[in-house]
């Protein structure tokens, strides 16, 4: 009986708060009650920010009746186990008196989970003190479900792409074995593996873009020479086409440095790679080798050089300067800087 009495008292207090709220903000409350956007007001002067007003749109969204919501803690609908970050953000917004916009998972009364974007703003009295928190909600459940469906499709595509590259690698290896020089086969396999790794990076980023630094780190780590390389540059996100082309370029430069240049086993040389954005929306990448054997220009143009010079020009509208200086190979790349929404082919 005591619990029922306490609940009845709490309900009376909640209803009293609502009536006081209606009196204080009369015209606004009428507008809030009739709008199709779910809205909630909580009492900022009381611990846990109990709810003092909900409109019909909010009740329709959550499936609750008004008497089941009034007086409840503001966060009673949020899934504590699965959305602790959202709870922390909301609490921080309340305590820090700042506005908030964040996606949140809600529990409906029927047990279904819905996604909403919540917007929280403070309501102040004439003295500037915060007296209520005003929250509005936008149902983004369909959007989240579509994102998850696309994520599943993309995961499947990434999986099949990796399998296809692995199959190409196996078939090519079996076909060429005994018909071509082992160095040719190793070079071919290395190029396919480099592409496969960048495919993996892009897949983890929803095929949006990948950082230039990540591609370089991956290239040198895969070849086991990252300790002898210095990388420096700002954050630059590359779209898929650019990322895959530069993967091949860096792979060719790195394997050449290992075979003939500064990263060869007989030397203590190093490679410095730096990049920067320049005026006119251009990206400049500088590759410098030092401390290796004396460099002499090659007498013929191999596949690697054709790929570096021709690939960048044809695929990315870029310019390349290869200089076989005695102290080490120099490769200067100038290309259009990636735009925010670059082509994803």
pLDDT on residue 23: 54
- pLDDT mean over 329-333: 94
For residue 239, count other CB atoms closer than 10 A to its CB.
Answer: 20
What does residue 298 show for φ and ψ, rounded to 5 degrees? Answer: -70, 155
pLDDT class of 19 with cuts at 50, 70, 90: low
CATH of domain 208-336: 3.30.565.10
Q: Which CATH architecture has domain 1-142?
A: 2-Layer Sandwich (3.30)
pLDDT on residue 81: 54
User: To which H or E segment does residue 186 belong?
Assistant: helix 182-204
Tens digit of pLDDT for each residue in 134-157?
888 999 999 988 888 887 877 787
pLDDT on residue 286: 96
pLDDT on residue 254: 94
d(CA 96, CA 91): 8
H helical segments located in 205-311: 212-223, 240-259, 303-306
Domain boundaries, the chain: 1-142, 208-336
Asked if pLDDT for residue 5 goes beyond 60, the answer is no
Buried b (16+ CB within 10 A) or exposed e, 25-34: beeebeebee
Contact of 49 with 73, CB cutoff 8 Å: yes
The segment with the largest mean pLDDT, out of 38-42, 160-164, 177-181, is 38-42
- pLDDT mean over 297-321: 82
pLDDT on residue 63: 92
- pLDDT mean over 296-309: 82
Mean of per-residue pLDDT scores for the chain = 82
| Cβ neighbours for 97, distance < 8 A, ≥ 6 positions apart | 122, 130
For residue 344, count other CB atoms closer than 10 A to its CB.
Answer: 12
**Residue found under tokens 């792979």:** 251
pLDDT on residue 341: 43
Asked if pLDDT for residue 21 goes beyond 60, the answer is no
d(CA 132, CA 43): 5
**% of the chain beyond a pLDDT of 70:** 86
10 Å CB burial of residue 218 (0-12, 13-18, 19+) is buried
pTM exceeds 0.85 for this model: no
């Amino acid at each position: 009986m005591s619990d029922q009495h306490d609940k009845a008292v709490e309900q009376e207090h909640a209803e009293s708060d609502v009536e006081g709220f209606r009196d204080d903000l009369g015209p606004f409350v009428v507008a809030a009650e009739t709008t199709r956007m779910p809205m909630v007001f909580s009492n900022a002067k009381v611990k846990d920010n109990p709810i003092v007003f909900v409109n019909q749109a909010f009740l329709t969204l959550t499936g609750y009746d008004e008497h089941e919501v009034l007086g409840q803690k503001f966060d009673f609908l949020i899934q504590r186990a699965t959305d602790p970050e959202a709870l922390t953000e909301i609490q921080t917004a309340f305590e820090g008196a700042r506005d908030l916009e964040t996606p949140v998972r809600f529990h409906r009364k029927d047990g279904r989970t819905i996604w909403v974007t919540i917007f929280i703003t403070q309501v102040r009295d004439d003295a500037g003190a915060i007296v209520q928190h005003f929250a509005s909600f936008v149902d983004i459940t369909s959007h989240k479900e579509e994102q998850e469906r696309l994520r599943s499709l993309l995961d499947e595509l990434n999986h099949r792409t990796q399998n296809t590259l692995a199959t190409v690698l196996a078939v090519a290896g079996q076909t060429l074995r005994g018909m071509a020089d082992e160095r040719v086969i190793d070079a071919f396999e290395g190029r396919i593996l480099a592409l496969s790794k960048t495919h993996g990076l892009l897949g983890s980023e929803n095929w949006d873009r990948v950082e230039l630094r990540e591609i370089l780190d991956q290239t040198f780590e895969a070849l086991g020479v990252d300790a002898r390389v210095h990388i420096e540059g700002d954050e630059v996100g590359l779209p898929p086409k650019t990322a895959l082309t530069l993967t091949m370029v860096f792979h060719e430069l790195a394997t050449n440095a290992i075979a003939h240049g500064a990263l060869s086993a007989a030397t203590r040389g190093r490679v410095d790679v730096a990049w920067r954005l320049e005026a006119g929306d251009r990206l400049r990448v500088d590759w410098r080798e030092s401390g290796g054997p004396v460099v002499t220009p090659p007498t013929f143009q191999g596949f690697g050089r054709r790929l570096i010079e021709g690939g960048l020009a044809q695929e990315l509208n870029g310019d390349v300067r290869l200089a076989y200086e005695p102290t080490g190979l120099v490769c200067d790349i100038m290309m259009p800087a990636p735009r925010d929404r670059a082509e994803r082919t």
